[in-house]
Amino acid sequence: MSAPRQLSLNAFIYPSGHHEAAWRHPDSRPDRIYDVSYYQEIGRTAEAAKLDAVFFADGPALRTDVRHNAAPGLEPITLLTAIATATTHLGLIATASTTYYEPYNLARLFSSLDHLSGGRAGWNIVTTGTDLAAANFGLDRHPDHAARYARAREFVDAVVALWDSWEDDAILLDRAAGIYADPDKIHPIDFVGEHLRVRGPFNAARTPQGHPVLVQAGASNEGRAFAGKYAEAIFTAHQRLSDAQTFYADIKAKAAEYGRDGGAVKILPGISPFIADTEAAAKRLEREFNELTVPEYGIKQLESITGTSLRALALDEPVPVEVFAGAGDVTDNARSRLQVVAGIVERERPTLRGLLHRLAGARGHRVFAGTPEQVADTIEEWFTQGAADGFNVMPPYYPGGLEVFAETVVPILQERGLFRTEYTGTTLRDHFGLARPRGRFAPEPATVG
């Protein structure tokens, strides 16, 4: 009899918190966002709650309006290595761009993290969605969407080939004979594509997980196809259960089209919970954060999504639905986020101020204010109704928002049999329930019969 299905829960680290005004709130610690011990404490909190992983987003450009928000810009592999030294089981997922890395150096970064953490690394694959990055790498312009995904497909193929270039038993460690490794079990990959060429072999052995877990966050048409082929876990943003169910079914079907087991692809929407003893108190806490927002900051963020100036609107004027006329064409990830915002405007008809407050909490991810039981109820509903395999938990403020979730919501999920009470494995693949991939040079398994 198979074990009951279990939630996956990650803590998405955003230094002061996921609400854009978190750094102004007295319960956050913006003074510590360059302090390594701060992140190690967050990691220990997540591990004490038996969470699957922490996740750290990244981009190779200064995108945040630093006049109105805190933006530390720490390099994620370095940061997660520091968290690895303070934890023993917690998964460690970082974003890295296929547009602004080369396959060999990125493969080394994640291979090193996986080795040094004992098999806890995950790579969130992105193509980078901002033009601001191009000039930082000597380019005249950011590559277009189709070109970025064409390179990304080659990039992942090359990186996985590098990770697989050593067979699992290549290291002999024969001191008596003076033989460390068998060169016949270490292979060049000779990868030649339209965008990339990588000879190989890799310069390090295959990692404890075979290779780090492949994570993806693109919701565009191209992104979904990419996820169906490569992703082992997918981060996504949805406001409504029905939308999440549609996305969930689509990704599972796309994985099956590539001959993959859809059940082995984890769909993890974001949820940003304001938690208090009563629903009224939780909603007061959310209002408290919203009242700290700076409209100028929110308008800049919204304009980056819509591509349209909204400065002629008064804060208490309704947002015109026409601003989102092109939201149905989901050709790129920026437009998929535009769809989320368009849905809010069409359903709720908010004022500009109201829309800015709706988006301040988690940049289009679902914000929920309620008691621990209500937060657990909504997590359970999405998990059992075909909308999610777990969640990226996005506390509105750090470190207290994660602490409250860990101390009040996680025990309820554990009591309901939905989440582990102890780790049953040591790797991120163990936590996600993913098999260790067979190396491409491994012999075919023997058939029985």
Which residues define the annotated binding site for FMN?
58, 95, 145, 149, 220
Contacts of 314 (CB under 8 A, 6+ apart): 352
Q: Which tokens is 228 given?
A: 């169906």
CB of 123 closer than 8 Å to CB of 53? no
Return d(Cα 431, Cα 424) in angstroms, integer.
7
Tell me how far apart the alpha carbons of residues 34 and 73 are, in angstroms, rounded to a whole number: 9
Contacts 24+ apart (CB under 8 A), 412-417: 412/372, 412/373, 412/376, 413/7, 413/9, 413/376, 413/379, 413/380, 416/376, 416/380, 417/4
C-alpha–C-alpha distance, residues 124 and 248, integer Å? 18
**Please, are residues 154 and 193 in contact by the beta-carbon 8 Å criterion?**
yes
Structure tokens at 113: 């993290």
52 vs 49, 419, 431, CA distance in Å? 9, 10, 6
> Among 185, 184, 238, 231, which residue's Cα sits nearest to residue 378?
238
Place of tokens 């196809």: 225
CA 194 to chain centre: 28
Q: Which residue, 7, 47, 53, is CA-closest to 416?
A: 7
Give the separation between CA 43 and CA 117, rounded to whole angstroms: 13
189 SS3 class? coil
Binding positions are 58, 95, 145, 149, 220
Q: Are 102 and 155 in contact (CB under 8 A)?
A: no
CA-based max dimension of the chain = 80
Q: Confirm if 402 and 41 have CB atoms less than 8 A apart.
A: no
Q: Are strands 8-13 and 53-56 parallel, antiparallel or unpaired?
A: parallel
| Alpha helical stretches, state H, 172-236 | 221-230
